[in-house]
Amino acid sequence: MAAAGFGALSPVRQIPAHELVVDQMRRALELGQFRPGDRLPTERELSEMLDVSRTTVRAAVAVLEREGLIAVRRGRGGGFTVQAPPIDAAEMRRELRRNKLAIRDAFDYRIIVETGATRLAAQRRRTAELAALHKLLAGMDGALEVALSEQSAQHTIEFQTLDTAFHMGIAQAAQNDRLLDAVADARRQMWLPVGAIFGRLEPNANDFHESILQAIEDRDPELAASRMESHINDTRQTIAAWLKR
């Protein structure tokens, strides 16, 4: 007799190895670990790094190439180059308006995991991590200044890449691998649907980062978490305003 309440169980599908490679590579691209224009490691290097066959890497690369995430140049001197994903911002905005509940859930999820990570970071941060975060913050200041003066998609991506690195650096400082994975997932859940509408940056894009870092440096967990929550809610309000346009 089947146990009651377990209707969510379903047949298990064997996942092909190349799909796991695609997921790892797509995650690295989405989190800004490789930027548009960057060269990826070679097929042989990826095979060794991921401990899979070159055939598996080739199959994964073919998927990413079809998605427009990487360009493949074959032959001598060829390789894999990261591409800016093709995005129809107007259609994306319409899609977001149709999925307001999913956007709400993504922001709720991000607030829960990032405030938790920030609270622990204020308790556990080390000197080297503070130095890395200060360096990223300085880079974000410079990137935002350039982006606001030129307002190109490339400069927006540059700032967003540093922004992601800053938030992931805070999660790293929390010294909890599971929480680090959760923050990465939360940012993916938010930026996958909403990142496309950021064709340009607003002057407040770098607000809160300095005060968050200061609270972490001062070892003030509750203040750090509160400022992170305010920062994420500020982004939520910016997106809500854009969707009304």
pLDDT on residue 121:
98
Nearest to 51 by CA among 12, 86, 24: 24
CATH number of the 89-243 domain: 1.20.120.530
pLDDT on residue 55:
95
Q: Do domains 17-82 and 89-243 have the same CATH topology?
A: no
Cα 221 to Cα 121: distance, rounded to the nearest angstrom: 8
User: The tokens of 176 are what?
Assistant: 């909890």
pLDDT on residue 175:
97
Per-residue pLDDT of the chain (245 residues; tens, 9 = 90+): 455 555 567 787 788 899 999 988 988 887 677 878 889 999 999 999 999 999 999 999 999 999 888 999 887 777 899 987 666 666 666 777 777 788 889 899 999 999 999 999 999 999 999 999 999 999 999 989 888 888 676 777 788 888 989 999 999 999 999 999 999 889 887 776 555 555 567 777 888 999 999 999 999 999 999 999 999 999 888 888 777 76
DSSP assignment of 82-105, as one string?
A: E-PPP--HHHHHHHHHHTHHHHHH
Q: Could you count the other beta carbons within 10 Å of the beta carbon of residue 37?
A: 11
For 87: left if phi > 0, alpha if psi spans -120 to 50, otherwise beta; the answer is beta
pTM score of the predicted model: 0.78
pLDDT on residue 88:
64
Residue 204 dihedral angles phi and psi, to the nearest 5°: -90, 10
Every domain of the chain and the residues it spans: 17-82, 89-243
Pick the CATH number of 17-82 from 3.40.120.10, 1.10.10.10, 2.30.40.10, 3.40.30.10: 1.10.10.10
Cα 87 to Cα 224: distance, rounded to the nearest angstrom: 35
Instruction: Tell me the β-bridge partners of 153.
Output: none
The amino acid at residue 42 is: T
pLDDT on residue 188:
81
Nearest to 188 by CA among 167, 202, 208: 167
pLDDT on residue 102:
83
